[in-house]
Structure 1
Amino acid sequence: MSVVIVSGTGTEIGKTVVTSAVAAAALAAGRSVAVLKPAQTGVGPDEPGDAAEAVRLAGSAVTAVELVRYPEPLAPDTAARRAGLATLSPAEIARAAERLATHHDLVLVEGAGGLLVRFDEAGHGLADAARLLGAPTLVVAQAGLGTLNSTQLTAEALRARGLSALGVVIGSWPREPDLAARCNLADLPEVSGLPLLGAVPEGSGRLEPEEFRRAAPGWLAPALSGTWSPESFTAAWPA
C-alpha cells in the first residue's frame, strides 16, 4: 500500500484533516510520507493550500506536492475553464504519484470534493487516476444525517469501476453526537460494505500541531498505522 487515494463523499467534511492525521500516524510508525494535492481550487497564488496544511499539522517530514492551482472554489474542470488554464489529466496525477512512491513509503493523493468530481473536459477524475495507479481509496464521510446515502453511493461507484477501497473514516466526529451520528457508527459499515477505520474529533485541525501529531494515531485503526478500535468507539457512543 504505497499510494492511497483520499476521497470525500462531498466537500467540507474534513478530508484534509484526515489526510493529515493519516500522514502523522504513518510518520509516527516510522514511514516516509508524501501528500499529493493534484488540483487546489479556491486559494490565491500566495496562500497555503491543503498540501501545506498537511505539512503544518503532520510535520515538516511530509513531502507536499501540488500540481495545479485554480483561483475559484469550483470543480477543477470548471475552475480551469473559467481561469483560462489547462486542466489536469488522470495520467498526469498517476505519474506524479508514481514518482513520489519511488522515494516514499506512503503517498496520499487528496482529491477535490467527491470521487466523481471532474478534473478535465472529458469528465475524468480521481477515480480514473486510482485505476491507473491500482491504488485503494480511503473514503472520508460525514458523521450525521445523510451520510449513509452519500457513503453508499461512493462505495458503489468504486465497485462499479472495479476499484478497491480501504474503508471509511469519519472526518469530523461531534463533541456531542446526536442520535443519527451514533446510529451511523453501526450503519455506515453495513450500508457501504466497508470497514470503519477511524473517527477524527471535530475541531482537530485547530489543535496545536504537536498535540495533533500525538493524538492522530488514536483516531485511526491499525490499518492506518493507528490504535483506534471501532468496537470500543461504538460501545462508547451507544445509540
Structure 2
Amino acid sequence: MGKKLFITGTGTDVGKTYVSALILKKLNQNKEKAAYYKAAMSGNIKAKNGELIPGDAKFVKDISQIDQSLQTMCPYVYEAAVSPHLASRLEGNPVDIKVVMQHLTRLLTNYDYITAEGSGGILCPLKFDEGELSLTDFIKQGNFPSIIVADAGLGTINYVGLTAYYMQKEGFKINGIIFNNFEQDNILHQDNLFMCKHLTSLPVIALVKKGDTDIDIPIEKLKALYE
C-alpha cells in the first residue's frame, strides 16, 4: 500500500499545482512510482470532442512526466471556474466522497507515493446542496499528513497563520510549509519566512523561485513527508 501526502494552500493561485508538479517530477526522476490525485477540479476547458480536459492534472503530468493516465487523476471535473460545490450545482454530478475514496484506494494499491492536491484553500467546499462536504472531510477520511503552499509575497503572514491555526486546532498533521515565488534578496519575503515560522512553529520545507524547474528537497527528505 502506498504512502500519501496532501497539498493544501493558503488560497487559490498560490502555486499548489506548480509545487505538486515539481514534487512529482522529483519522485519520478528518482524512479519512484508516484501518482497525482485531486478529488474535484473546476475551471477546465473542453477538447474538440466535447470532453473536459482536467487542466491541473495535465499540467502536473506534462511537467513531471509520470506515466499515470489523466483519467485516474481526478474523478470530478467541471468547466465553471468556481468552487466545486457551485460548479456541480451549475453542471450536475456532485462530489460523492465514497467515489473519491474508491479512486484513492486504487491509486494507493498501484503506486508508492500519492500526492493529493486540494481545491483552493483548506475550507473549500466540495459539495453543499446534497449534504455538506469539504476538503477537510477528504483529508480526515484519507488520514493525510499535509503541507501548506503559500505565496511568499504581501499578506502571507496572515494567510499562513490562519491556515495553520485552523488545521492545528482541528487536529490535522502539518509537515511543513513551502513558499512559492520566493525572492532571496527581497526583505519582505525574508521577513514573511521568519514570521510564518515564528507564528506556526512549522518547518519550511522548500523555497521555490519563479520559473524553477526543480524543487530543492533531498529525495529522502521528500519521501519522509509521505505517510
State whether TM-score is above 0.5. Answer: yes
Is 1:224 equivalent to 2:225 in the alignment?
Answer: no
User: In the aligned structure 2, how far is the partner of 1:219 from the partner of 1:173?
Assistant: 15
1:159 aligns with 168
2:74 aligns with 66
* CA-CA distance at 1:222 after TM superposition: 5.0
User: In the aligned structure 1, how far is the partner of 2:143 from the partner of 2:135?
Assistant: 12
User: What CA deviation, in whole Å up to 9, does each residue of 1:101-143 have, x standing for no partner?
Assistant: 1111111111111011000014422211111111111111110
Compared CA separation, residues 132 and 48, structure 1 to 2 (3 A): closer
2:50 aligns with none
* CA-CA distance at 1:26 after TM superposition: 1.5
Contact 1:4–1:136 under 8 Å retained in 2: yes
Residue aligned with 1:71, SS = coil
2:99 aligns with 92
Is 1:170 equivalent to 2:179 in the alignment?
Answer: yes
* CA-CA distance at 1:14 after TM superposition: 0.8
Compared CA separation, residues 48 and 81, structure 1 to 2 (3 A): closer
In structure 1, stretches of 5+ residues that fail to align are 205-211, 227-239
Contact 1:23–1:62 under 8 Å retained in 2: no
Whichever residue aligns with residue 74 of structure 1, its letter is: V
* CA-CA distance at 1:62 after TM superposition: 4.3
Whichever residue aligns with residue 50 of structure 1, its letter is: D
1:150 aligns with 159
TM-score, scaled to structure 2 = 0.86
Is 1:140 equivalent to 2:149 in the alignment?
Answer: yes
Aligned length: 214
User: In the aligned structure 2, how far is the partner of 1:120 from the partner of 1:99?
Assistant: 23
After superposition, residues 12-23 of structure 1 pair within 5 angstroms as: 12-23=13-24
In structure 2, stretches of 5+ residues that fail to align are 48-52
Contact 2:35–2:66 under 8 Å retained in 1: no
2:196 aligns with 188
Compared CA separation, residues 113 and 120, structure 1 to 2 (3 A): same
Compared CA separation, residues 220 and 77, structure 1 to 2 (3 A): farther
User: In the aligned structure 1, how far is the partner of 2:217 from the partner of 2:11?
Assistant: 21
User: In the aligned structure 2, how far is the partner of 1:20 from the partner of 1:168?
Assistant: 16
User: In the aligned structure 1, how far is the partner of 2:206 from the partner of 2:97?
Assistant: 28
2:57 aligns with 51
1:75 pairs with one of 52, 76, 83: 83
Contact 1:170–1:198 under 8 Å retained in 2: yes
Question: In percent, how many aligned pairs have the same letter?
Answer: 24
Compared CA separation, residues 220 and 203, structure 1 to 2 (3 A): farther
1:116 aligns with 123
Whichever residue aligns with residue 203 of structure 1, its letter is: G
User: In the aligned structure 2, how far is the partner of 1:79 from the partner of 1:180?
Assistant: 36
Residue aligned with 2:144, SS = coil
Residue aligned with 2:111, SS = coil
**Cα RMSD, aligned residues only:** 2.1
* CA-CA distance at 1:93 after TM superposition: 2.4
* CA-CA distance at 1:194 after TM superposition: 1.5
Compared CA separation, residues 80 and 177, structure 1 to 2 (3 A): farther
User: In the aligned structure 2, how far is the partner of 1:154 from the partner of 1:100?
Assistant: 28
User: In the aligned structure 2, how far is the partner of 1:166 from the partner of 1:93?
Assistant: 23
